């Protein structure tokens, strides 16, 4: 056997990726080096926590080193798509994260990779295709699938690794993501780190199957349970899987039986674990075992100790270094939640007469035509051309590779889009009804919405939400959700009303580097015909739209309420200004404020319930900004705070009627100064 030199600088340069598969003799020194480093850092984290240098939830990887190091060495950082979780310190080290950065992250100082904004374990480097975790267990799995799918869409031969605990394996996204990867034949290793506990919950309360890998059969893929305390077993299994995936492209489910030798986090002393079980764990302790294996290969005690001392000294030096950095400064941070938009000019579009639905279809067609890397995903959008037919002709024109019917899994689909947006694909996701977007609140609102803030990278995704009532489809198919979706920093929300606005919203949102939602009121899909005359200048679209001129009152209406208000205004020839903010988040009310300053009065009309919509936000802003100019109290006309009822008579009562709008306008016009 040719022995490696046991020193950090030599061992860290060894290429152990699956295409350079190492022998056990070559592998063990490298694995031990990373395992030892991970353990040593964990020890120091706890110490720094006790001394008050590290705060928050200090979660450590002690006992999990064989799994984290064995699973990560076969992957190619910067090429493969990797998203690892809170007990994967060893994998961060293998993927090249410098220990100094990690200490800074834990200390939340100025030099921390998240600028002190994010918790200890929530770091990574998205620019190298290592997606940073969010807390919600299971929600990094779908982005990994999307990332691999996107890179492969563009011809790259890549794979994915995503990890989950035994607890996290009970989340919906776990199931949705594996199923999605299997259906799309996307080669991702789903690795379950089964350490027997989720916080204090033992696995008997988590699942009822024998092995978690048994679930693989339900997805039509291969699954295996392995000893996660032996790095060589983990490494070899992953290498085998990658070699097999290169042939059949199917994902793999690997359950690694690992250990959590401490409590869930620094504050948990794991009193709920029986002494006998703790004893059993110590017997399987992976670091001790890897050390024994290394000595058995012929390395002597002195060589191994020298490597350990070298690493400990390095870590000590990094801690000293990390302690020197200043605390983060609120003033010095970039607090932008939106990626900067590089406004561009696109092809102009003119049409004499069209409706919202055909305008949206034309805009989608334009985006698909202009960008070969754009895809539309959703349910029944292919051959069926979507339930409202907004995808008419697109499947025929662009084929199954770019108009992709997916399973019923909104959360995983949204996460998938986030991942794909990171590997060169421009995804458009259609929801059948806006109501089903609640399935994807975490993925859209928390994962995609915070992406730029967390990573400094854009996440260009267009989510299309057919929304609103008036077509008698009941409370689960009629929601508007403007209140919900405007709550998330980092998400742009468009609410177009006319065909021209629909065209501009779709094309504008598509070209935006941020995740954008376009609310498409279903009732307006087929309403009035109108012309489109769009000069292609996207820099001009971010502005409220005005439909009528007048002096007596400023009206802000949303969605189908614009049309109702317009009908009433035209019928009675009121002298009022009717506005639609067009972009609800980040809302820009400049011209509307100017309007209120001239009319002195504001009426807001929204279809959502009183507390569920953005109307109150508009009123409060106007009240603050135009307080002196207001001559009477602003008024909100909205639906009541009840679910949207089904029967026509009840729905008609629910949605603000033209008569209610007329009365509100007349009351306000007639209102005396207060």
Ligand X SMILES: Cc1ncc(C[n+]2csc(CCOP(=O)(O)OP(=O)(O)O)c2C)c(N)n1
Q: Counting contacts by CB under 6 A, is residue 567 touching ligand X?
A: no
Nearest to 245 by CA among 206, 171, 177, 189: 189
Nearer to ligand X, 82 or 493 (CB): 82
Site for Mg ion in 198-227 (CB under 5 A): 198
Residue 199 touches which of ligand X, Mg ion, none (Cβ within 5-8 Å per kind) = ligand X
| Position closest to Mg ion via CB | 165
Q: Counting contacts by CB under 6 A, is residue 87 touching ligand X?
A: yes
Beta strands, E only, 258-380: 349-354, 374-378
Segment lying near ligand X (by CB under 6 A), choices 14-22, 176-184, 189-197, 222-230: 189-197
Nearest-approach distance from CB 282 to Mg ion, in angstroms: 18
Q: What are residue 351's DSSP bridge partners?
A: 532
Nearest-approach distance from CB 525 to ligand X, in angstroms: 36
Q: Counting contacts by CB under 6 A, is residue 190 touching ligand X?
A: no
Nearer to Mg ion, 203 or 351 (CB): 203
283, containing H or E segment: helix 275-283
Q: Torsion-angle region of residue 430: left (phi > 0), alpha (psi -120 to 50) or beta?
A: beta
- State how far the Cα of 70 lies from the Cα of 93, in Å rounded to an integer: 12
Residue 289 touches which of ligand X, Mg ion, none (Cβ within 5-8 Å per kind) = none
Dihedrals φ, ψ of 353, to 5°? -135, 130
Sign of the CA dihedral with 367 first, then 501, 589, and 638 last: negative
Q: Counting contacts by CB under 5 A, is residue 195 touching Mg ion?
A: yes
- Residues in contact with ligand X, counted by CB under 6 A, come to a total of 16
| Residue 609: strand, helix, or coil | strand
In the shown chain, the binding pattern of residues 231 to 270 toward ligand X, with x for contact by CB under 6 A and - for none, equals -----------------------------x---x------
Longest Cα–Cα distance of the chain, Å, equals 97
Q: Counting contacts by CB under 5 A, is residue 165 touching Mg ion?
A: yes
How far does CA 283 lie from the centroid of its chain? 40
> Given candidates 166, 262, 435, 504, which one binds ligand X under the rule CB under 6 A?
166
Distances (CA, A) of 601 to 253, 263, 474, 522, 633: 62, 60, 34, 30, 7
Residue 135 touches which of Mg ion, ligand X, none (Cβ within 5-8 Å per kind) = ligand X
> Given candidates 136, 185, 289, 343, which one binds ligand X under the rule CB under 6 A?
136
Residues listed for the chain? 674
Q: What is the DSSP letter of 435?
A: G
Q: Counting contacts by CB under 6 A, is residue 165 touching ligand X?
A: yes
Segment lying near Mg ion (by CB under 5 A), choices 54-62, 66-74, 157-165, 418-426: 157-165
Q: Counting contacts by CB under 5 A, is residue 166 touching Mg ion?
A: yes
Q: Counting contacts by CB under 6 A, is residue 199 touching ligand X?
A: yes
Nearer to ligand X, 284 or 601 (CB): 284
Q: Counting contacts by CB under 6 A, is residue 168 touching ligand X?
A: yes
Beta strands, E only, 246-316: 252-257
Nearest-approach distance from CB 136 to ligand X, in angstroms: 4
- State how far the Cα of 92 lies from the Cα of 115, in Å rounded to an integer: 18
Sign of the CA dihedral with 377 first, then 383, 386, and 390 last: positive
Cβ-contact 368, 427 below 8 angstroms: no
Q: Counting contacts by CB under 6 A, is residue 482 touching ligand X?
A: no
| Residue 212: strand, helix, or coil | helix
Binding site for Mg ion (CB under 5 A): 165-166, 195, 198
Binding site for ligand X (CB under 6 A): 87, 135-137, 165-168, 171, 193, 195, 197-199, 260, 264
């Amino acid at each position: 056997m040719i022995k490696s030199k046991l020193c950090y600088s030599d061992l860290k340069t060894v290429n152990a990726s699956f295409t350079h598969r190492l022998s056990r003799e070559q592998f063990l020194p490298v694995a031990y080096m990373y395992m030892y480093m991970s353990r040593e850092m964990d020890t120091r984290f706890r110490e720094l926590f006790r001394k008050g240098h590290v705060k928050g939830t200090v979660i450590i990887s002690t006992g999990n080193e064989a799994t984290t190091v064995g699973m990560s060495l076969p992957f190619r950082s910067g090429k493969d798509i990797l998203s690892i979780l809170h007990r994967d310190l060893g994998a961060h080290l293998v993927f090249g994260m410098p220990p100094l950065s990690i200490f800074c992250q834990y200390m939340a100082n100025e030099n921390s990779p998240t600028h002190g904004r994010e918790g200890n374990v929530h770091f990574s480097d998205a620019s190298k295709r290592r997606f940073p975790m969010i807390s919600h267990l299971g929600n990094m799995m779908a982005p990994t699938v999307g990332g691999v799918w996107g890179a492969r869409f563009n011809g790259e031969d890549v794979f994915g690794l995503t990890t989950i605990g035994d607890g996290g394996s009970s989340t919906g996204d776990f199931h949705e993501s594996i199923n999605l990867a299997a259906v799309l034949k996307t080669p991702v290793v789903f690795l379950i780190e089964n350490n027997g506990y989720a916080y204090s919950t033992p696995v008997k309360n988590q699942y009822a199957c024998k092995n978690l890998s048994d679930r693989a059969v339900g997805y039509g893929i291969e699954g295996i349970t392995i000893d996660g305390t032996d790095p060589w077993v983990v490494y070899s299994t992953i290498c085998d899987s990658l070699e097999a995936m290169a042939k059949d492209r199917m994902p793999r489910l690997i359950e690694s039986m690992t250990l959590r030798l401490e409590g869930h986090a620094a504050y948990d002393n794991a009193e709920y674990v029986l002494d006998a079980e703790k004893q059993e764990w110590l017997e399987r302790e992976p670091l001790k075992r890897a050390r024994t294996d290394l000595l058995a290969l012929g390395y002597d005690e002195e060589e191994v100790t020298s490597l350990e001392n070298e690493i400990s000294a390095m870590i000590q030096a990094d801690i000293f270094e990390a302690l020197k950095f200043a605390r983060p400064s609120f003033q010095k941070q970039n607090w932008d939640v939106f990626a900067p938009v590089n406004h561009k000019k696109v092809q102009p579009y003119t049409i004499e007469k069209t409706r919202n639905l055909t305008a949206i279809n034309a805009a989608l067609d334009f985006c698909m035509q202009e960008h070969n890397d754009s895809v539309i995903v959703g349910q029944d959008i292919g051959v069926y051309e979507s339930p409202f037919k907004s995808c008419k002709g697109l499947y025929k024109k662009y084929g199954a590779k770019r108009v992709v019917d997916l399973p019923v899994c909104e959360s995983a689909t949204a996460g998938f889009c986030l991942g794909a947006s990171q590997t060169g694909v421009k995804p458009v996701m259609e929801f059948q009804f806006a109501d089903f977007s609640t399935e994807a609140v975490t993925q859209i609102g928390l994962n995609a919405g915070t992406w730029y803030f967390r990573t400094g990278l854009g996440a260009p995704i267009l989510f299309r939400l057919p929304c609103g009532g008036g077509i008698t489809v009941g409370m689960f198919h009629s929601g508007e959700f403007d209140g919900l979706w405007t709550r998330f920093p980092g998400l742009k929300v468009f609410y177009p009303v006319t065909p021209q606005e629909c065209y501009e919203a779709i094309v504008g949102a598509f070209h935006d580097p941020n995740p954008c939602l376009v609310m498409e009121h279903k009732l307006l899909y087929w309403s009035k015909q109108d012309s489109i005359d769009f000069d292609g200048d996207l820099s001009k679209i971010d502005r409220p739209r005005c439909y009528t001129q007048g002096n007596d009152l400023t009206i802000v209406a949303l969605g189908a309420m614009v049309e109702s208000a317009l009908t009433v205004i035209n019928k009675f020839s009121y002298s009022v200004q009717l506005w639609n903010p067009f972009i609800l988040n980040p809302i820009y009310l400049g011209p509307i404020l100017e309007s209120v300053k001239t009319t002195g009065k504001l009426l807001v009309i929204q279809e959502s319930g009183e507390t569920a919509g953005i109307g109150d936000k508009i009123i409060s802003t106007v009240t603050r900004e135009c307080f002196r100019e207001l001559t009477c109290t602003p008024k909100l006309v909205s639906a009541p705070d009840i679910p949207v009822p089904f029967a026509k008579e009840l729905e008609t009562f629910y949605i603000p009627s033209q008569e209610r709008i007329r009365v509100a306008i007349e009351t306000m016009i007639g209102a005396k100064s207060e």
